[in-house]
């Protein structure tokens, strides 16, 4: 069994989409699915195409909003995300809510991080050359505008609930190709 399965991130949304008859709800679900798949690629241009002209992200950390703001801020955030090679992730959803203006997802976000990047963003790791599975409990609100584009993300998370060093044999092939291509 794979440590993470990126497809599990959007499969619950695709399952909901398959049984949803409300056209607005279908539009809202579809843009979030498109965004999730662009993150998994990673496809910076694809990510940015899912967003309004001036997106507004709210990442709540210790009572402070540290999310990127505006086109340039969000573009820089996603460019760093793509460069970090931490896009191999699975958001195992426990809850999915959809209305005319928002998708709400809640569950455990499991993400593989290069150790150096994990340390850079404040995750406690003991070996910057190792690879880590980092798990967070996360709630995400995905507001969507009248034109069907994502306005931003409102993210609430627990901080790491698990930080586990991975052996090379545990790493998914797509991660190895991305982070350790010479091996």
Three state DSSP letters for the chain? CCCCCCHHHHHHHHHHHHHCCCHHHHHHHHHHHHHHHHHHCCCHHHHHHCECCCCECEEEECCEECCCEHHHHHHHHHHHHHHHCCCCEEEEEEEEEECCCEEEEEEEEEEEEEHHHHHHCCCCCCCCCCEEEEEEEEEEEEEECCCCCECCCEEEEEEEEEEEEECHHHCCHHHHHHHCCCC
State the pLDDT at residue 121.
85
Domains of the chain: 7-179 (3.10.450.50)
One digit per residue, the tens of pLDDT, for the chain of length 183 reads 578 999 999 999 999 999 999 999 999 999 999 999 999 989 999 999 999 999 999 998 878 899 999 999 999 999 988 888 788 899 999 999 999 999 999 999 999 999 998 998 889 999 999 999 999 999 999 999 999 999 999 999 888 999 999 999 999 888 888 888 876
State the pLDDT at residue 20.
98
CA distance 62 to 158: 10
Distances in Å between the Cα of 181 and the Cα atoms of 31, 70, 127, 132, 178 are 32, 34, 20, 17, 6
């Amino acid at each position: 069994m794979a440590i993470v399965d990126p497809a599990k991130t959007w499969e619950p949304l695709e399952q909901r989409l398959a049984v949803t008859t409300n056209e607005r709800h279908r539009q809202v679900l579809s843009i979030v699915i498109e965004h999730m798949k662009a993150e998994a690629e990673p496809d910076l241009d694809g990510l940015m195409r899912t967003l309004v002209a001036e997106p507004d992200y709210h990442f709540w950390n210790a009572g402070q909003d540290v999310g990127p703001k505006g086109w340039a801020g969000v573009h820089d955030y996603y460019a760093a995300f793509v460069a970090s090679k931490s896009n191999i992730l699975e958001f195992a959803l426990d809850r999915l809510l959809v209305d005319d203006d928002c998708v709400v997802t809640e569950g455990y976000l499991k993400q593989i991080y290069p150790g150096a990047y994990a340390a850079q963003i404040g995750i406690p790791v003991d070996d910057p050359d190792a690879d880590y599975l980092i798990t967070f409990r996360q709630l995400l609100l995905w507001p969507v505008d009248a034109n069907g584009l994502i306005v931003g993300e409102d993210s609430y998370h627990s901080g790491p609930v698990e930080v586990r060093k991975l052996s090379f044999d545990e790493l998914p092939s797509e991660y190895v190709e991305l982070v350790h291509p010479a091996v």
